[in-house]
Chain A
Amino acid sequence: MIFAVAKSRLWNLRHDRAAFVLAFILPIVFFSIFASIFGRGSGRSATPRIRVAVVDEDHSPASRRFVAALKAESAMKAQEGPDAGSGKPAVYTEAAAEAAVRAGEMPIALVIPKGFAQGAIRFGPASDRAKILLLSDPSDPIAPQVLAGLIQKVAMTAMPDALARSGIDALDRWGGNLTQEQRRVLEENVARLPNAPAGSAGDGSGGLIDVALRDVLGQKKGNPMVAFYAAGLGVMFLLFSAAGAGGALIEEAESGTLDRILSTQVTMSRLLAGKLVYLAGIAAAQLTVMFLWGSLVFGLSMRGHWIGFFIMTVVTALAASTFGLLLAAVSRSRMQLVALSNLTVLAMSVVGGSMFPRFMMPEFMQKIGLLTLNAWAIDGFQKVFWREEPLTHLWPQVLVLSAISVVFFALARRIARRWEAV
């Protein structure tokens, strides 16, 4: 009897392809996505490479060596200028690097100050040392921490002579004066050090190079992640609710109501347009509630951001709604719609940065994320609330989300022809 129950359920699962997909394909898809983001194949570090804009204001042999060592460091991707084809000057200045961080083009910038060669590495009090300046975006709290550690490592492995000289000076100063003979022998040994193989300095104790951190964004804001989560989670739930509400079309088809509607003066185009107006209105209301809640409870500032919020809300709501309509048009049953929406919305939300920021992902995943409407919507809201960029800077997001809306609606309309007169 028990086996009969199990067997009939197994038959049911076999006949219900949507449930079958949910049971087996969905976990595999998500496993693959997460493995790609955090694993990137076997045996590789889970930490993505940090992209760093490097500005060398010292132009000394020591600073050049330091920059070369930064570039050689496998845990980061240091670059002294913007990507080719960006139309900007080939080499970063401090201002250009700061602008790049502010615009979200680079997660962090590193400025090597003038006078770096004269005592960048020195044991003892830090007050008179030239400090390396990190220009950071506080919405990415990980990058400065990791980079500060890497700087110490690079200094020790790439500039052992400077390290040793600093040690000799400290010994001379705090351990009693060295004799001329002692100093000569030490200098001879130190002279051999620049050619010494890198990586022999052991694990750095930190603090040999002074690092100053300056946030270039959000100095006046409380929680830098509130806008991100309001947008990220807002878009994800928008997609879920649009897909669910789009399912009304399938219910109408199954109940015969769609037949009745299409026998009246309502055409399929009018019907879909009406549903789009409804879905987009609901989606816009959902986003508004989400941001108002963020404003009331988590200190998200709406002041001065209303127009940008309105623009991003309209294009995001339209894109999410047309996505819901398209899924409903494609699905043959409510169950299929549930399976399809779970699969696509969760995948888009993970890759598109709704669940955790895209800057935490490997670079290739960040690029794949741009195939999702989540990424474009989140980037737009971040520009409005976090980076406080001018409204004109929203054009890529507005253009892409509008294009998505047009394409999705056109596709939904075309697929919905199957419900028209046969």
Chain B
Amino acid sequence: MIPGMSAPPLEALNLRKSFGEITALDGVSLEMPPGEILGLLGPNGAGKTTLVRSVVGRVTPDSGTLRVFGHPPSDPAATASRGWVPQEISLYPLLTPWENLWTFGRYQGLSGADLDRAIDRSLEWSGLADRSKDRTSNLSGGMRRRLNMAAGTIHSPKLLLLDEPTVGVDPQSRERIYTMIAELKAQSVSIVYTTHYMEEAERLCDRIAIIDHGRIIAAGTRDALVRSTLGVNQTVRIEAEGPIGPTLREKLERMGARVDGQGVLLLAADPPRQIRDLLEGFHAEKTAIADLSLKQASLEEVFLHLTGRELRE
């Protein structure tokens, strides 16, 4: 691919990286079209952070090819077209939002009127225009998160790496952050969005890649992932009023349901028939039902199905 803006925002081919005995990336391949929001999901220690840090030039892969708009990550052209919002609030707490934005704007090569305009735009975008002269350490957690995003986008990058931008913020700030992301998408910014919140990924991302043990184990749209992983796209949940006896448990498990305490979960390919069978089972064993629901299969179920339920750390 010829370097330049016609090249894909992000292109990874067979990336490998080890830290001593630990293999962090084990042949990651990935390509993003322009303007896409790609959700990057994975358990802790799966390789997400190493992949993101490779894209921003802070980790050098042992092998494989990585390109940002056709350039190696350490190339100045890649640096200028790429933005990074780390999970940590990586700002100077004693400086004001204006001073922080000025600093990171200069670090990205902006100056003069361009820098002034970028600061004003970023303050407006993050809803911090009226707090621009306060100390950053005096801002609320949500405000600092928004300023963290503004500092990573001050130079108007065309590829943005967002690392869990909504951790620890209240619902109002989260909505504001979603709005900010929607505005970036409207400007055709390509975004790699790392999160542990599945509903967030479902809501924001065009496509989702699940990474585990240093490999991309599944990638596609939410519906495609559900179909390819679970084979069905609906789940039945039942909550019993009391304990589920061994006979009923055996019956339910024969139907393919998973019983966990008083809860029952069934991935349903034929919901009407399967719900009828479940209800008959409860009725026969004289077990009362507190709640029953039929829902679209969630990304969380896909995630847990692919990565397992065991603790990773």
Chain A residues engaging chain B, CB cutoff 8 angstroms: 255-257, 259-266, 421-422
Contacts and interface: CB of A to CB of B under 8 A. Distances in A.
A261 B92 contact: no
A422 B90 contact: no
A422 B59 contact: yes
A260 B152 CA distance: 8
Nearest to B84: A263
Nearest to A264: B107
B107 A257 contact: no
Contacts of B92: 257
A265 to B, nearest CB: 5
Q: Rank and list the top 8 A-B pairs by shortest CB-CB distance, nearest first.
A: A256-B88, A264-B107, A263-B56, A260-B90, A257-B90, A256-B90, A266-B107, A421-B60
A264 B108 contact: yes
B163 to A, nearest CB: 10
Given A264-B104, A265-B108, A422 B60 contact: yes
B76 interface: yes
B273 to A, nearest CB: 53
Interface in B80-97: 80, 82, 84, 86-92
Given A255-B89, A257-B92, 14 more contacts: A255-B90, A256-B86, A256-B88, A256-B90, A257-B90, A259-B53, A259-B58, A259-B86, A260-B90, A260-B151, A260-B152, A263-B79, A421-B60, A422-B19
Contacts of B87: 256
A272 to B, nearest CB: 14
B90 A421 contact: no
Contact of A260 (B59, B80, B84): B84
B76 A265 contact: yes
Interface in B199-239: none
Interface residues of B, number: 26
Contacts of B109: 265
A259 B107 CA distance: 13
B301 to A, nearest CB: 33
Interface in B44-100: 53, 56-60, 74, 76, 79-80, 82, 84, 86-92
Nearest to A258: B90
Nearest to B103: A261
B57 A261 contact: no
A264 B80 CA distance: 8
Contacts of B108: 264-265
A259 B89 CA distance: 12
A264 B86 CA distance: 13
A259 B151 CA distance: 13
Contacts of A257: 90-92
A262 B73 CA distance: 12
A264 B56 CA distance: 9
A264 B79 CA distance: 6
Given A255-B88, A256-B88, A261 B107 contact: yes
Contacts of A264: 79, 104, 107-108
Contacts of A261: 107
A255 B19 CA distance: 22
Contacts of B76: 265
B88 A421 contact: no
A277 to B, nearest CB: 14
Given A255-B88, A257-B91, A263 B57 contact: yes
A255 B95 CA distance: 15
Contacts of A421: 57-60, 74
Nearest to B93: A255
Contacts of B107: 261, 264-266
Contacts of A260: 84, 86, 90, 104, 151-152
A259 B79 contact: no
A282 to B, nearest CB: 15
Contacts of B57: 262-263, 421
B60 to A, nearest CB: 5
A366 B59 CA distance: 49
Contacts of B89: 255
A257 B87 CA distance: 11
A212 to B, nearest CB: 62
A263 B58 CA distance: 7
A4 B104 CA distance: 47
Nearest to B155: A264
A266 B107 CA distance: 6
